[in-house]
Amino acid sequence: MKRMLSGIKPTGQLTLGNYIGALRNFVKYQDEYEMYVFIANLHCITEYQDPQDLRKNLTDAVALYLACGLDPNKSTIFLQTDVRAHAQLGYIMACNTYLGELNRMTQFKDKQAKGEKNMTAGLYTYPSLMAADILLYQANYVPVGEDQKQHVELTRDIAQRMNNKYGDLFTIPEPLVAKVGARIMSLQDPSKKMSKSDETNKGCIYLLDDLKVARKKIMSAVTDSVGVIQLDKENQPGLYNLIEIASSISDRSMEDIADEFKNEGYGKLKGYVADVVCAELEKIQNRYHEIIESKTLEKVLNEGAIKAAKIADETLQNVEKTIGLEIKY
Ligand code: ATP
Ligand code: LTN
């Protein structure tokens, strides 16, 4: 069975973008692959997080993983810091990543261009840690949203380089980006990704949003003045985004949905999208509350960490030995 690994960095509440671009796919893949999914808490602290908020976000993220359908009997679910090898291999990876490579990473460049102050060294070397996350498990595939593809490609380059230098240390992973839903856009500005860090909060639907609030966000999504329902991503990006959201969740094709509403007004389509989204959120939220009350999270994470550490430690030990960090008596 091929191995698959992915992580989510819960710096805030998980969003509909995370669900459609990442989480939902993990659930689909867990029957076909040996699946490893982790909460990337080390990646969270590349920017300051209030400790209390961070703890709450981590707990919510695990509960939401389960509520969205990840099954601990099929997937290994764990917290990044519970497997110490991540930070250890992360350092070794940083020593095998060139500054030129890190300088090309768009996520970092965008933040720098925005003139963000107090950017940390951790934020800069984050792609090296992400490479360690993946390579520790010798993963064949890494399902991610469009924005993370570049990081997985860097991981491949680092792995290839180390394999050339030292012999076969790592499996070369492939990014897996879904055709529909890989980049869900903000409901208020369809030129921007739907993001946790949305300043207004109106363009982003959170998985734990009150259903009335979620509906309102969809009904007031920015569209266009063309007035015709059709699939034209360039000229009608807001409408396209709404149809993409509904298509991803309902498993209907975008063409099918556009066709059903082609003679209707935008309000009717938005109502349909809101129905689809709210029904899904309601299911997720009901399960989320059950899971929080059942107090099973600790057990899931403990078992996950034991399984994950077994594989990760083996890779780390092999790397340390191969690159000459061990003394043989
Ligand atoms: P931020 O919103 O602060 O930019 P993020 O949501 O991109 O952060 P993560 O939570 O780590 O950061 O992302 C987890 C996964 O969700 C990644 O695979 C990412 O590509 C995917 N993802 C995030 N936002 C979207 C989106 N709007 N559309 C599709 N996939 C997304
Ligand atoms: N960088 C990712 C989260 C992440 C990840 C990973 C995803 C950290 N390590 C390893 C896949 C594989 C993000 O910010 N979305």
- Residue 49 vs residues 57, 222, 320: alpha-carbon distances, Å: 10, 31, 32
Active site residue 321: no
CATH 3.40.50.620 in the chain, residues?
Answer: 3-177+295-323
Q: What integer pLDDT is reported at residue 91 of this predicted model?
A: 98
CATH 1.10.240.10 in the chain, residues?
Answer: 211-289
Q: Residue 198 and residue 194: Cα distance in Å, rounded?
A: 7
133 CB near ligand 2 (under 6 Å): yes
Which residues on adjacent β-strands are paired with residue 8?
39
The angle, 0 to 180 degrees and rounded to 10, between the axes of the packed helices 266-294 and 237-250 is 50
Q: Is 238 helix (H, G, I), strand (E, B) or coil?
A: helix
What fold characterizes domain 211-289? Answer: Tyrosyl-Transfer RNA Synthetase (1.10.240)
Q: Kindly indicate whether the domain formed by 3-177+295-323 is annotated with CATH number 4.10.1240.10.
A: no
How many residues can be counted in the chain? Answer: 329
Active site residue 196: yes
Which atom in ligand 1 lies closest to the alpha carbon of residue 182? 29
User: What does pTM read for this prediction?
Assistant: 0.90
Q: What is the pLDDT of residues 142-152, one digit of tens each?
A: 998 888 999 99
pLDDT over 90 for what percent of the chain?
Answer: 88
Which atom in ligand 1 lies closest to the alpha carbon of residue 181? 29
22 CB near ligand 1 (under 6 Å): yes
Q: What is the pLDDT of residues 150-197, one digit of tens each?
A: 999 999 999 999 999 999 999 999 999 888 788 999 999 999 999 987
Of all protein residues, the one whose alpha carbon is nearest to atom 14 of ligand 2 is: 9
77: CB partners within 8 A, 6+ apart = 37, 38, 62, 65, 66, 70, 300, 301, 304
Q: Ligand 2 mean position to 267 CA, how many Å? A: 36
Active site residue 216: no
Of all protein residues, the one whose alpha carbon is nearest to atom 9 of ligand 2 is: 130
